[in-house]
């Protein structure tokens, strides 16, 4: 049994449909998609130790499959530069999240390395009632939220589809670099699209995927946040 | 009641549906203008089928012995045409099952398109048919036709003209409008189906069948909603490699989506996802039924361009500039003439011509217009041009020949022969260089004169009276070619 099947089986066993960020990143790593280092710390002490191991600065995020809007809940602390800041952030996260989600299962926090900023990309998957799994590509932030500047394809896709959907968005020119930003490495983005498509095709029961954001650099791209939702029934 | 419920094989089923030898018209009527009367007349008109009217209240329909019930007909029935009131349809379907009818079409409306009660009734009919092994068109269909077997349940009188286009439509009136518009363009149909509410046969079934139909070279469809989008997608990917599929899909705006829902009860679905699915599977998506017919005509009457660079030959500067702008907006490019082309044109055109694309003839005389093909050759040979648009008349109107040119009847005859010779030479070059040539000219001499249109079609020259329509059509041809090139070598 592959790592991915084990993770999904265990999520099912726990009666969940939403993978934690850590689980989702493990699944995507196995699918060949690079993600920022993310590990689970189940206590404040462990959070400090893991932060030291990953290297500062780090990000802490509350680890709970039931809390989807982590930032709104006060469950995210970024740019933590030393042990003291990590310790403080851990306490603050727990103090903020607990009253808002009194019944949520909280595993602790995920400790993540901070990715160097790049062009923000979003890649997603959802199920269309008529066409089944559909993959989406867009620029992150206001481009996807306000301008809805995204391109779709039916899964499975081939490299030509991936190349076309990247070129199709109105903000394509942004990928060539702007205001001193380095350009985005298009082949890396194509690779992620193909790997996500391939993963969905091979893995039954996937309902939704969000890789948001992905940071694109001049020679690579890395998924900074990841989310996988399973179908209600396997 | 004979037990004859042997479900026909797929191949046989489609033959029974489109080329039946024996047809029962259940609900046939003597009342002129009624659906039951229309269907009866339409099916009878070819005179090559055994037709049995069923009506419990009349001994005869249109002079033919009528039966109380389909089961009483002393013959095997290939196709049942059902036009009885909706409440009677479940019983009629049961009788069809008992009779061993092979295929059916339900013209009757008042089903899922009307609401919950109708939906239930439709589900009941579908279940009876499914268990009895009958697949059917409709309900709420306006009819289906096969020009090969001369079957039409639309109630059309007379001979159905044959042709290579299959029309599928989730709206009956749109189906007929498309068929008629294609006819006006000189394009005939192989089969056409008003698919109705698709309680049994769905759009995807017809496409699968038409992919294998030798008489169909091109499939066009009016779509409100797909019942099985994924199957459509898979099928379209295969089919468009060999036969183009042109689709007009409504439901892209909020109100149109609502209209669709109440029309055939189909879910319009996300427009952006449909656009993606069509593009990914090589389906040509058009905006409306007029464009659908234009594209169908062009696919059958033109080469597919290798690239998108147009060359424009115009009688005046204004039309040239307008056309250039419209073409660019529709995804085409204005090509840069090769120096050799400029040199060749220098020898023919007056010195005041602008020596660039669009090629402006700078005020030709009526006699100059007889020499258009001399200007066309350099453009067709130019490697920087993939499509040639002519904003000049290449076929002269009779009034010009007799009036401005003062030709006598025998001279006109000779002139026409020269024209035809030229047109055929143009065709040779269109095919050799794979460069579409389109004529954009005011109605005069083209649309108003069927013989001119016939000649242009013979020459594989596209003719339109509207620039934007021309540009859009050519843009579709270009993208389809691009798609076909792109998938070469892909599985």
Residue B143 lies in a domain: no
Rounded Cα distance between A158 and B280, Å, is 10
Rounded Cα distance between A7 and A24, Å, is 9
The pLDDT value recorded for residue B89 is 98
Residue B149 lies in a domain: no
Tokens 């990590």 found at: A86
Q: Would you give per-residue pLDDT tens digits along chain A (234 residues)?
A: 688 999 999 999 999 999 988 999 999 999 999 999 899 999 999 999 999 999 999 999 998 878 878 888 899 999 999 999 999 999 999 999 999 998 888 999 999 999 888 999 999 999 988 899 999 999 987 777 777 788 999 999 999 999 999 999 999 999 988 777 789 999 999 999 999 999 999 999 999 999 999 999 999 999 999 999 999 987
Residue B449: pLDDT over 80: no
The pLDDT value recorded for residue B374 is 87
The pLDDT value recorded for residue B2 is 42
Kindly indicate the confidence band of residue B161, based on its pLDDT and cuts at 50, 70 and 90. Answer: very high
Helix (H) or strand (E) holding B293: helix B289-301
C-beta atoms of B269 and A130 within 8 A: yes
The pLDDT value recorded for residue A11 is 94
In this prediction, residues B144-171 reach a mean pLDDT of 94
Q: Are residues B184 and B133 in the same domain?
A: no
CA B263 to chain centre: 22
B202, B279, B281: which to substitute to probe chain A, counting the most A Cβ within 10 Å?
B279
C-beta atoms of B225 and A161 within 8 A: no
Query: A53 vs B465, which has greater pLDDT?
Result: A53
Tokens 């069809």 found at: B96
Cα torsion B148, B154, B159, B162 to 10°: value is -40
Q: Residue B249 sits in a domain of what CATH number?
A: 3.40.50.261
Q: Are residues B181 and B284 in the same domain?
A: yes
- Residue range B337-387, pLDDT digits in tens: 999 999 999 998 888 899 999 999 877 665 666 678 889 999 999 999 999
Give the SS3 label for residue B383. Answer: coil
Chain A residues touching B225 at Cβ < 8 A: 130
Distance from CA of B78 to the nearest CA of A (A): 33
Kindly indicate the confidence band of residue B446, based on its pLDDT and cuts at 50, 70 and 90. Answer: low
- Mean pLDDT is lowest, of A19-33, B163-177, B200-214, B392-406, for B392-406
In this prediction, residues B390-416 reach a mean pLDDT of 82
Residue B315: pLDDT over 90: no
Residue B150 lies in a domain: no
Residue B398 lies in a domain: yes
Nearest to B277 among A154, A164, A165 (CB): A154
Chain B residues touching A158 at Cβ < 8 A: 490
Q: Are residues B252 and B354 in the same domain?
A: no
Distance from CA of A48 to the nearest CA of B (A): 46
Phi, psi of B378 (to 5 degrees): -60, -35
Check if the beta carbon of residue A82 is closer than 8 Å to that of residue A121.
Answer: no
Distance from CA of B237 to the nearest CA of A (A): 12
Q: Are residues B170 and B282 in the same domain?
A: yes
**B238, two tokens:** 């295969």
Q: Are residues B41 and B127 in the same domain?
A: yes
| Structural domain count of chain B | 3
| Sign (positive or negative) of CA dihedral B121, B126, B132, B134 | positive
Nearest CA to B228 among A154, A195, A188, A234?
A: A154
Q: Are residues B297 and B307 in the same domain?
A: no
Rounded Cα distance between B431 and B303, Å, is 7
- Residue range B247-260, pLDDT digits in tens: 999 976 666 666 65
| Furthest CA-CA distance within chain B | 88
CA B406 to chain centre: 41
The pLDDT value recorded for residue B402 is 81
Nearest to B486 among A152, A160, A165 (CB): A160
The pLDDT value recorded for residue B259 is 65
Nearest to A152 among B226, B233, B276 (CB): B276
The pLDDT value recorded for residue A129 is 85
Full 3-state SS string of B109-129: CCCHHHCHHHHHHHHHHHHHH
Chain B residues touching A131 at Cβ < 8 A: 229-230, 233, 269, 273, 277
Q: Are residues B115 and B181 in the same domain?
A: no
By residue range, what is the domain housing residue B349? 302-487
Rounded Cα distance between B412 and B408, Å, is 6
Beta strands at A150-154 and A206-216: parallel, antiparallel or unpaired: unpaired
* CA distances (Å), origin B450, targets B152, B180, B410: 27, 16, 21
DSSP β-bridge partners for residue B312:
B389
The pLDDT value recorded for residue B3 is 45
Q: Are residues B277 and B166 in the same domain?
A: yes
In this prediction, residues B395-422 reach a mean pLDDT of 82
Query: B433 vs B255, which has greater pLDDT?
Result: B433
- Residue range B221-280, pLDDT digits in tens: 999 999 999 999 999 999 999 999 999 999 766 666 666 555 554 554 588 899 999 999
Rounded Cα distance between A100 and B424, Å, is 80
Residue B153 lies in a domain: no
Q: Are residues B255 and B111 in the same domain?
A: no
Nearest CA to B364 among B353, B355, B373, B376?
A: B353
C-beta atoms of A131 and B490 within 8 A: no
Query: What is the set of domains in chain A, with CATH numbers?
Result: 3-113 (3.30.1490.20), 119-230 (3.30.470.20)
Angle at B386 between CA B383 and CA B391, to 5 degrees: 115
Nearest CA to B83 among B42, B18, B38, B131?
A: B38
Residue B27 lies in a domain: yes
Complex confidence, ipTM: 0.86
Kindly indicate the confidence band of residue B306, based on its pLDDT and cuts at 50, 70 and 90. Answer: very high
- Residue range B71-93, pLDDT digits in tens: 999 999 999 999 999 999 999 99
Angle at A159 between CA A154 and CA A165, to 5 degrees: 55
Residue B9 lies in a domain: yes
Last residue of a domain, one of B250, B272, B301: B301
Angle at B25 between CA B22 and CA B28, to 5 degrees: 145
Tokens 């740019």 found at: A79
Q: Residue B83 sits in a domain of what CATH number?
A: 3.40.50.720
Residue B395: pLDDT over 90: no
The pLDDT value recorded for residue B444 is 45
The answer, yes or no, to whether the previous bond of A33 is cis (omega within 30 of 0) is no
Q: Are residues B336 and B412 in the same domain?
A: yes
Q: Are residues B293 and B182 in the same domain?
A: yes
Residue B148 lies in a domain: no
Q: Are residues B290 and B330 in the same domain?
A: no
Rounded Cα distance between A48 and A85, Å, is 9
Query: B8 vs B290, which has greater pLDDT?
Result: B290
């Amino acid at each position: 049994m592959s790592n991915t099947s084990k993770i999904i089986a265990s999520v099912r066993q726990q009666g969940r449909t939403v993978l934690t960020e850590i689980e989702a990143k493990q699944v995507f790593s196995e699918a060949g998609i690079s993600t920022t280092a993310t590990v689970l710390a189940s206590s404040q002490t462990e959070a400090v130790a893991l932060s030291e191991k990953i290297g500062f600065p780090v990000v802490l995020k509350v680890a709970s499959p039931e809390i989807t809007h982590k930032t709104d809940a006060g469950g995210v602390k970024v740019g933590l530069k030393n042990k003291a800041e990590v310790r403080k952030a851990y306490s603050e996260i727990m103090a903020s999240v607990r009253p808002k989600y009194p019944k949520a299962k909280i595993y602790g926090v995920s400790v993540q390395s901070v990715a160097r900023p790049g062009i923000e990309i979003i890649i997603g998957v959802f199920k269309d009632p008529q066409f089944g799994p559909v993959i989406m590509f867009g620029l992150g932030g206001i481009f996807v939220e306000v301008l809805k500047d995204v391109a779709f394809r039916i899964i499975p896709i081939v490299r030509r589809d991936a190349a076309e959907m990247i070129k199709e968005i109105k903000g394509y020119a942004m990928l060539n670099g702007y205001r001193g930003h380095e350009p985005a490495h298009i082949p890396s983005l194509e690779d992620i699209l193909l790997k996500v498509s391939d993963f969905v095709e091979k893995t039954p029961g996937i309902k939704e995927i969000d890789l948001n954001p992905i940071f694109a650099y001049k020679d690579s791209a890395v998924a900074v946040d990841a989310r996988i939702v399973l179908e209600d029934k396997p | 009641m004979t037990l004859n419920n042997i479900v026909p094989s797929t191949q046989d089923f489609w033959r029974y549906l489109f080329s039946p030898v024996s047809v029962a018209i259940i609900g046939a009527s003597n009342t002129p203008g009624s659906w039951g009367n229309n269907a009866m007349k339409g099916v009878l008109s070819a005179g090559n089928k055994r037709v049995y009217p069923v009506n419990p209240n009349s001994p005869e329909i249109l002079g033919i012995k009528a039966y109380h019930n389909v089961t009483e007909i002393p013959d095997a029935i290939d196709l049942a045409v059902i036009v009885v009131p909706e409440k009677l349809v479940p019983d009629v379907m049961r009788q069809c099952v008992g009779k061993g009818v092979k295929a059916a079409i339900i013209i009757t409306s008042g089903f899922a398109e009307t609401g919950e009660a109708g939906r239930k009734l439709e589900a009941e009919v579908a279940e009876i048919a499914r268990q009895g092994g009958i697949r059917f068109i409709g309900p709420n269909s306006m009819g289906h036709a096969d020009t090969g077997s001369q079957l039409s349940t639309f109630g059309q009188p007379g001979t159905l003209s044959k042709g290579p286009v299959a029309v599928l439509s989730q709206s009956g009136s749109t189906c007929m409008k498309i068929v008629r518009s294609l006819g006006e363009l000189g394009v005939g149909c192989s089969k056409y189906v008003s698919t109705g509410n698709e309680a049994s046969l769905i759009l995807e079934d017809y496409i699968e069948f038409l992919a294998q139909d030798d008489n169909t070279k091109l499939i066009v469809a009016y779509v409100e909603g797909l019942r099985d989008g994924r199957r459509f997608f898979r099928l379209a990917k295969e089919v468009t490699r060999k036969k183009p599929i042109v689709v007009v899909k409504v439901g892209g705006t909020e109100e149109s989506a609502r209209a669709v829902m109440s029309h055939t009860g189909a879910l319009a679905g996300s427009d952006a996802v449909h656009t993606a699915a069509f593009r990914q599977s090589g389906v040509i998506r058009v905006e409306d039924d007029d464009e659908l017919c234009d594209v169908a005509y062009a696919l059958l009457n033109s080469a597919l361009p290798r690239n998108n660079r147009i060359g424009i030959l115009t009688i005046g500067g204004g039309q040239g500039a307008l056309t250039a702008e419209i073409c660019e907006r529709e995804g085409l490019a204005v090509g840069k003439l090769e120096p050799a082309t400029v040199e060749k044109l220098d020898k023919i055109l007056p010195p005041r011509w602008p020596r660039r694309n669009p090629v402006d003839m700078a005020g030709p005389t009526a006699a100059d217009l007889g020499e258009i093909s001399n200007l066309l050759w350099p453009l067709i040979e130019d490697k920087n041009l993939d499509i040639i648009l002519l904003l000049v008349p290449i076929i002269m109107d009779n009034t010009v020949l007799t009036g401005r040119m003062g030709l006598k009847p025998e001279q006109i005859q000779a002139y026409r022969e020269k024209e035809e010779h030229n047109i055929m030479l143009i065709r040779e070059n269109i095919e050799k260089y794979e460069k579409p040539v389109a004529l954009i000219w005011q109605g005069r001499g083209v649309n108003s004169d069927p013989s001119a249109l016939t000649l242009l079609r013979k020459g594989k020259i596209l003719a339109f009276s509207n620039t934007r329509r021309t540009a859009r059509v050519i843009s579709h041809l270009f993208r389809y070619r691009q798609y076909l090139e792109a998938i070469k070598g892909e599985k």
